[in-house]
Structure 1
Amino acid sequence: MSRLTGWRLALRMARREALRAKGRSVLVLVMIALPVLAVTAADVVLQTQDVSSVEGLDRRLGSAAAQVVVPAEGRPMIQAFDPEQGSSTHGRKQDPPTAADISAVLGGARLVEERVGGVDVRTDKGSAWAQTTQVDLRDPIAAGLAELTSGRLPDRPEEVVVNQALLDKGYAVGDRLELRGRDAPSPVIVGVAESPEARDYPFAAGPVGSLDVAGGYSAGRTWMAGGGPVSWETVTKLNAMGATVLSRAVIEDPPPPSEIPEEIRAWSSGTDDAFLAAVALIVVMALLEVVLLAGPAFAVSARRQSRSLALMAASGGTPAQSRRVVLAGGVVLGGAAAALGVGLGIGAGWLLVPLVQRMSSTWFGPFDVPWLHLAGVAAFGLASAVLAAVVPAWIASRQDVVAVLAGRRADRPPSVRSPILGLVLLGAGVAAAAYGASASQNGEVLIAGAAILAVLGMIFVVPVVVAGVARLAGRLPLSPRYAARDAARHRTRTVPAVAAVAATVAGVVALGIAVTSDEAENRDTYTPTLAMGQAAVTGYGLSPARWTELEEAVRREAPHADVAPIAGVIERGRNRVELTAPGHHGALVDSTTVNFGSSTLVADSVPAAVPGLSAADRERADAVLARGGVVAFADDRMDGDAAVVTRGTERATLPAAYVHFEAGPDAPLAAVLSPAAVDRVGAEAGTVALAVSGAELSAAQRENVSEAVAGVTTNAGFYVERGYQADQGTVIVQLVLAALGAVLMLGGTLTATFLALSDARPDLATLSAVGASPRRRRWIAASYALVVGFVGSVLGAAVGFIPGLAVAVPLTSSAYSDTGPYLDVPWLLVVGLVLGLPLVTALVVGAATRSRLPLVARLD
């Protein structure tokens, strides 16, 4: 029989077996199709969200052939194919090209001027920033730069269109758009048009000059060019004249990468090793996960086919033919699962895109199905199914034909070489992780490889661990004892399930440690702007009348808050104050954040908004200020009770309290002076900030106060100190990790448990026949789930610490500071995976398992 004929027969047998055992086949399809579906949906959403240079051409060029930008500097330029991906000056200064010069190079192409920028717009609450585009929107070249939804396009410089986000700030069609700035125009809103990019922040568009504010427009010029395609040769000519060019023809059909100037290529050349290592780690771990999850199903399938395979062997069949039959099952089910997963994933991605779009402030690109990526995903699903069938196929080819035909079954004893190899791999993983943590280069690659070695080593150790658990189960009640010993007896289906759970937990623990350690570094190195819970309006160089307006604006938007002025030294000209310590050379602090518009405040007691003071320091400082002294911040701990205060030629030695600031690299202030100290040196004091306290401000109130403050002056800002706030993306990653770990662990444990129950029907029927209660099957099922889940999670958590701890070191160490490395283990996540999920899984399995079974005859 030829090999092709043998595979045709094996595939036919696999198809019939899949149709015969529909329940088990559906289970395998689900296990393989779900990861394929999830990856496909994620890829479709990410590709749709990512607007490539080609997809973004219409929103940047409209219908133009090219966009030509001439910087005001007037030097030759070099650029990438897309100037946003890299451009630079390259040569001596020269006269910038005119519109006529550019049109001549472009073969007499018609040019339409465009100006892109932003303006401050008055709103109901005060002021907000809006993105702007100035171009003749009625010109066919500009088609696509704004999408009209109602009203009409502007046809005069006194008219504009705005998007809905700007209307929500208190405008309507027919109103005048009030711009802030010297000699600012007030164009009439004649329509509503959405930006092709901005989704939920203000946008306005109109003819050139309709939105210009004096002092806000650069001398650089931008033109949209009509006419025919603009070649790369033409782009380089315009570069030499001092312009950068976004050419539709070049982006859609780019020349060889070697055409990009070497300086620009150097900026974008190379790939992040950490990114590649992360991708490789995710791909390998995902492949292991799917293989290990599907492995038990193929093991049970091979067990069900054992008699057919034994008869085939007894009739002269070879071990290779037996392996081929089991592997064909992986080909049939894997191919079907891959196709099903990709198809459903595309549909899921299409449904998810509108939901994800709501979380983005910019518009996604067109719905994008990356067929090349998805072909790889489908191949991944097929390969994982075939790999999952390899071990069951190898075991099936080595089965004892006589024992199988006699109706006996049992796995071979665990190999002595297996745990030794596993320990060697684990040791190599620990060594590689330790070396990668200390390596100056390619450490991330070594740590990723260490994680893979550790997981592989753990898989080889699992059979011995399962056998050990069975030996230790002698004192347990009947159900967990039976489950532990049955798991050890049928290791071909138990070991992959335990290893799958362990691999899942290892990956989640490793990534969890890395994420939380990075978060610990961010939290520890955070420097507060104000004291915790305090809010302040800060500004610089504002008049007393302006501070009065700001106070009224805050009281209007936050009527229940207490608003009080904070006084400080007006730092201009020779009015600056310096503090020195007797016998100490140099400044007391290297730098200050100037959070209050002045580095030196004036008060009888330290304002509550000043951060970085302990209760004892604050009490000591207030006592000194009450005596007419000063409070001086210092980078080092200073002894003494006096300081020298200097303003110009005036100098005074006054009582002092020195405060060591440890919360970050910059002190919040240089000093706090008492009014008496200010009088001694003749300094000018005045309001430099407003303290806002006494009320918890909602997010909407904070936004309203910020707009109200900006409405008074753009030189002031409003800030509420809420301490370190975890990045939203980090929180999402942590939640996704926990959810992913829970889903995969539950799926793996449930799959393994129900496959084991299906395989153990004869044993459970025998138990029932000898007097076991109907509920015994539920207790055994729950116990089996507990054994698989608990053993797998303990092993996985232990192995996950290896790459997790290793990656935390380079991730949280800085070559530019003394801080780090940081280590923060997410113990709640670890405990939940190790204890919580196995118990939940056991309860689910116990509740979902039938308590009665028909009696089945058995021979062993």
Structure 2
Amino acid sequence: MSVDVQDPPLVLGSGHGGMAARRAVVRWAWRLFRREWRQQLLVLALLLVAVAATTAGLGVAANTLGTQSSSFGTADHLVTVSSTGAQLDADVAALRSAFGTAEVIEHQNIPVPGSANPVDLRAQDPHGPYGRSMLRLNAGRYPQGPDEIAVTDGVAKIFSLHLGGTWDQGGRHRTVVGLVENPLKLLDRFALVAPGRASPPDHVIVLIRATQTEFAGKTLPDGVSVEIRGEEPDTASVGVLMLATIGLLFVGLLAVAGFTVMAQRRLRALGMLGAIGASHRHIRLVLVANGAVIGAVGALAGAAAGLAGWFAFSPRLESLVGHRIDRFQLPWLAVLVAVLLAIVTAVCAAWWPARAAARVPVVSALSARPVPPRPARRFAALGGVLLLGGLGSLVAAQQTKPLFIIGGVVATALGLLLLAPVGIAGLGRLARLAPLAPRLALRDLARYRARSSAALAAIALAVGIAAAVALGAAVSVAKAAAPTGGNLPADQLIVWLSENALNGPVPSLTPAQADNARLRVDAIAADLHATSVLPLQAAVDPNAPQVGGSGGREPMQLGKPHPITVDGRQGFRYSSADAVPLFVATSELLGHYGIDPTSIDAGTDIVTSRADLDSYDLFPGRYRDWRPRLQHAPLPTYTSLPGTLLTTHAVQSLHLTPIPAGWLVRAPRPLTQAQIDRAQRTALAAGLSVETRPTGADLARLADNVTGTGIAVALGVLAMTVGLIRSETARDLRTLTAAGARRGTRRALTAATAGALALLGAVIGTAGAYLALLAWYHREPHWLGHVPVLDLAAILVGLPVVAYAGGWLLAGKEAPTLARQPLD
């Protein structure tokens, strides 16, 4: 008897083929990329631009923020000693004994004719243990002898000095032997002498490096002030990555449209692959691997282009940010994350078309029939849930909670994007009401819903961002024009002696400096035809240490104590965010407000219109146990106007010293931007600063620029999308041409496609921006009544009109003959 073993029947598509099959599919995907990279050039270019912009942006963000190293060097504690003579030597010796290694830097103030800010004469060792990073020699050498000095470029320009010249200052002749700078603060104006040659110093800085526990366990000399180096979180890089994520979301939406078109164009080849035994997983792998290759090539090329741009731009950035930049000081982890995000974006964009193509039956794929559109209600349900959740998160954020704000913005944007298929389906239903050419165009959009929805979502995202900026700017402009609230009335400005108003040290002026500052203020008042110029005075503790190189002291303020614990010790800290500036209640100021000085009780310490000052303390200083006696009066509620006054009784009882802080100038009418610019230039020449109510002009210009950019981006998306649609429907266009359709019909098809997508994207984006801002301003929705008519008209009317006109003008080319069919 013979036995014949029959082979089992071959079932196509039932197995997975193992690693060999996956390698073959990946190789085919790589060949597909090499053959058709020109058709995928759009996605490659978008990924390259996104990653390049992110890489360069990360470099700018990581090197733009100011650094505490400009005053601390490599130390973490800065001790200011204001004693003099033998007591100063004893205090410095005590600090050296307590901490071992300590760097002493002496400071002496040199008055500048015509300026309220003196030049800092600094006695510092260029090779000190902590401060060497704060000095850089640009020319010559460091000073060594008693009559040698090095200066910065700013000081050399002020006093007309040059290398090898002589500086006659205060009857003392010094030879300029070097040009120096603080590489961590290029705007730092100072003159450098050898250690111990700034005698007598106005104050002395001692740099110390110690842990919090070590520092807390030491006894410090009396009368010193201590600054502790704080943490400097890299929030700017996080912000750049967030913007990059939004940009990559936009790129991903366009990539979905591109991969969908590619999948439809290669549908027959994918069907043949399934016919010879490839599983659904293999077919998905073809497109996903192709997406991974495109993402990797685009991301790596973008990173290289971004690094090249960063290296080219960084020298220019140094002058903009005011400190030297290390070209290789980049957040490399964030750059890697940006590259990985780009690759993941391309893979995710390819996955959805790959999933749809893998589900197409083999016979339908071989016939290249379009995939029937899926019901839009599923996307609408998920989009509605995300939209409601995002708006609720924005409401719960109360404009103060970052996590709720980020989550709300992302969820709102995703919700609106998922509603795009519903809009495309609605266009298909409206097609029956349109003439022939627009009817065909709208039905074609609905038939290829996956591709059209992705493009519509990208347009809505670009338009929504532009509309949100325009609406937000309109709200800011309206708030600036409001008669109440804000920092100052629209017809007033304050000329401050300090750069940071009353949030920084107030310099002590010599009589000549005070006269020059008042001359500048009078010039500003004359230009504004001012009706009044009111001197403002702050109060300082004469025993408090001087701050920085300005020779100034911190003004007294009211602050809310926040309990903290450091190394097991209970303490308090004060934040400038909730500080209340104090002005001395001079007779001129009281008369300006119409208050009779005799109406203030003799024992009153503070005159105010606020009712929440019971929990506030007087700082800086040692006055935590002082409980002031308050008297309420009808004072203005503007944040920068004198609304909380320190009486003469309080100044005398606390042994404080009134000093000039600024001048309040009142004009007969609201200030224009040109008047503000002239006032700022005049004040800057004397080292003064000007504070005014924001006019909103800059925000309005920003809104116009962003609106124009959003419209340009939307038009670019439309051009890409319409090009993809027309290339995919080339056979239908040939059929129409053979049936006698004229050039006008072909033009109307393209124009209707572009105009419909533009109009629907503008409506969805603007509606989303309004919903998001309504949730943001839910407590004061009346501000949204100030509509930026021109910007919204450009979006809702201009964008569709330009899209329709562009589609009409650029279309109408004669189609190839029917005999010239493209090969798959």
Change (3 A) 1:800 1:396: same
Q: What CA distance in whole angstroms lies between the structure 1 residues aligned with 2:76 and 2:24?
A: 62
Partner of 1:835: 797
Shift of 1:327: 1.6
Q: What CA distance in whole angstroms lies between the structure 1 residues aligned with 2:177 and 2:585?
A: 42
Q: What CA distance in whole angstroms lies between the structure 2 residues aligned with 1:144 and 1:529?
A: 44
Change (3 A) 1:832 1:268: same
Matched, 1:382 2:382: no
Unaligned runs of 5+ in 1: 75-93, 224-229, 245-263, 573-589, 602-609, 611-630, 634-642, 650-658, 672-687, 711-716, 814-819
Aligned residue runs from structure 1 range 309-708, under 5 A = 309-407=270-368, 409-415=369-375, 418-419=376-377, 421-423=379-381, 425-427=383-385, 429-430=387-388, 433-434=391-392, 436-438=394-396, 444-510=402-468, 513=471, 517=475, 524=482, 525-528=485-488, 531-532=491-492, 598-601=588-591, 632=594, 664=638, 699=677, 702-704=680-682, 707-708=685-686
Matched, 1:195 2:165: no
Q: What CA distance in whole angstroms lies between the structure 1 residues aligned with 2:585 and 2:732?
A: 75
Matched, 1:40 2:26: no
The code of the aligned residue for 2:738 comes to A
The code of the aligned residue for 2:638 comes to G
- SS of 1:772's partner is coil
**Higher mean displacement: 152-161 or 392-401:** 152-161
Q: What CA distance in whole angstroms lies between the structure 2 residues aligned with 1:446 and 1:466?
A: 31
Q: What CA distance in whole angstroms lies between the structure 2 residues aligned with 1:151 and 1:430?
A: 67
Alignment RMSD, CA only? 5.3
Q: 2:144 aligns with which of 155, 163, 177?
A: 155
- SS of 2:217's partner is helix
Shift of 1:566: 5.9
1:726-767 deviation line (CA, Å, top 9, x unaligned)? 597x78975785466345434432321211122122222233
Q: 1:724 aligns with which of 675, 689, 694?
A: 694
Change (3 A) 1:514 1:562: closer
Shift of 1:383: 0.9
Q: What CA distance in whole angstroms lies between the structure 2 residues aligned with 1:552 and 1:58?
A: 33
Q: What CA distance in whole angstroms lies between the structure 1 residues aligned with 2:710 and 2:536?
A: 56
Change (3 A) 1:29 1:313: same
**Matched-pair contact (CA < 8 Å) for 1:512–1:826:** yes
1:420-447 deviation line (CA, Å, top 9, x unaligned)? 5524542553255236524679955345
Given the two structures, how large is their TM-score scaled by the length of structure 1? 0.67
**Matched-pair contact (CA < 8 Å) for 1:571–1:598:** no
1:154-195 deviation line (CA, Å, top 9, x unaligned)? 22344322222233335222666687xxx8977554432222
**Matched-pair contact (CA < 8 Å) for 1:291–1:384:** yes
Matched, 1:60 2:73: yes
- SS of 2:149's partner is strand
Instruction: Count the aligned residue pairs.
Output: 695
Partner of 2:771: 802
**Matched-pair contact (CA < 8 Å) for 2:122–2:191:** yes
Shift of 1:376: 1.5
Aligned residue runs from structure 1 range 265-344, under 5 A = 285-344=246-305
Shift of 1:29: 0.8
Change (3 A) 1:468 1:205: same
- SS of 1:197's partner is coil
Partner of 1:136: 125
Q: What CA distance in whole angstroms lies between the structure 2 residues aligned with 1:703 and 1:442?
A: 35
1:771-825 deviation line (CA, Å, top 9, x unaligned)? 3344654543343222222212211222233333323458x89xxxxxx998866
1:664-715 deviation line (CA, Å, top 9, x unaligned)? 26876999xxxxxxxxxxxxxxxx979798997685775455545x7xxxxx
Q: What CA distance in whole angstroms lies between the structure 2 residues aligned with 1:742 and 1:464?
A: 23
- SS of 2:452's partner is helix
The code of the aligned residue for 1:217 comes to H
**Matched-pair contact (CA < 8 Å) for 1:18–1:329:** yes
Q: What CA distance in whole angstroms lies between the structure 2 residues aligned with 1:373 and 1:571?
A: 46
Q: What CA distance in whole angstroms lies between the structure 1 residues aligned with 2:477 and 2:108?
A: 34
Change (3 A) 1:95 1:298: same
Aligned residue runs from structure 1 range 73-222, under 5 A = 98=94, 101=97, 105=100, 113-115=104-106, 119=109, 121-123=111-113, 125-130=114-119, 133-137=122-126, 144-173=133-162, 187-200=174-187, 202-208=189-195, 210-211=197-198, 216-218=202-204, 221-222=206-207
Change (3 A) 1:288 1:185: same
Q: What CA distance in whole angstroms lies between the structure 2 residues aligned with 1:647 and 1:660?
A: 13
1:512-555 deviation line (CA, Å, top 9, x unaligned)? 65666567657753233783589899999999999877676678
Matched, 1:783 2:752: yes
**Matched-pair contact (CA < 8 Å) for 2:437–2:749:** yes
Matched, 1:240 2:217: yes
Q: What CA distance in whole angstroms lies between the structure 2 residues aligned with 1:569 and 1:341?
A: 55
Q: What CA distance in whole angstroms lies between the structure 2 residues aligned with 1:170 and 1:190?
A: 15
**Matched-pair contact (CA < 8 Å) for 1:551–1:690:** no
Given the two structures, how large is their TM-score scaled by the length of structure 2? 0.69
Shift of 1:660: 7.8
**Matched-pair contact (CA < 8 Å) for 1:480–1:784:** yes
**Matched-pair contact (CA < 8 Å) for 1:513–1:823:** no
Shift of 1:70: 4.8
Shift of 1:209: 5.2
Change (3 A) 1:667 1:349: closer
Q: What CA distance in whole angstroms lies between the structure 2 residues aligned with 1:279 and 1:752?
A: 28
Q: 2:718 aligns with which of 728, 738, 749?
A: 749
Shift of 1:457: 3.6
- SS of 1:362's partner is coil
